[in-house]
A and B are shown apart, each in its own frame.
Chain A
Amino acid sequence: QKEVEQDPGPLSVPEGAIVSLNCTYSNSAFQYFMWYRQYSRKGPELLMYTYSSGNKEDGRFTAQVDKSSKYISLFIRDSQPSDSATYLCAMMVEGAQKLVFGQGTRLTINP
């Protein structure tokens, strides 16, 4: 079993829809939770960064962490075609050096 599980999709939604992306994990020691966005032929870029549990909002993006369920989510409101990309969740144990990534979910927003 992988430490971090993420449905690779692909996921295709119409423009303006609310998108929900999710990851589950098995290591209860994870304290840092990130979402990276990767456009085609580019490197991943950090989108959201959360420490421990709770919600974080940044514009149209909301990240949620539920440590009791070992489940994290990324919500995208009013989705735009420019949001079409692969979204990777990533997690890290405090004090560790290694980020553990999910498989990535390929998202397409259709105009």
Chain B
Amino acid sequence: DSGVTQTPKHLITATGQRVTLRCSPRSGDLSVYWYQQSLDQGLQFLIQYYNGEERAKGNILERFSAQQFPDLHSELNLSSLELGDSALYFCASSTLPNTGELFFGEGSRLTVL
């Protein structure tokens, strides 16, 4: 158990809908990362927050947004969903803002029908 909690574990929705994925980092970790994992693209970095502030942005679509709240939990919002958004979405946390030692949650599997 990494200590990172993600909800929901599974989500099935329709095209055009909006969903919110939630992540609670390990106790004491200030940095939260979001990654998307698909069969053809592998693990792709989406966005990183450190202590409530956006630190880095990767290949995150404009239809996607994220935030980190004062209690350090984070949410990833996906809107106007398309079939191609079906993937595993992972949250990871770390103590420091720029370390390669990430602790991943078990992921949220999104299926868009």
Contacts and interface: CB of A to CB of B under 8 A. Distances in A.
> Is the interface on chain A under 10, 10 to 19, 20 to 34, or 35 or more residues?
20 to 34
B55 A97 contact: yes
Interface in B1-22: 2, 4
Interface stretch (A43-51, A65-73, A77-85): A43-51
B2 A97 contact: no
Nearest to B40: A103
Contact of B101 (A46, A88, A97, A103): A46
B64 interface: no
A98 B56 contact: yes
Give the size range of B's interface with the partner: 20 to 34
B107 to A, nearest CB: 6
A102 B100 contact: no
Contact of B98 (A42, A44, A96): A96
Contact of A98 (B4, B58, B107): B58
Given A92-B98, A98-B45, A98-B56, 7 more contacts: A44-B43, A44-B90, A45-B103, A46-B101, A46-B103, A97-B56, A103-B42
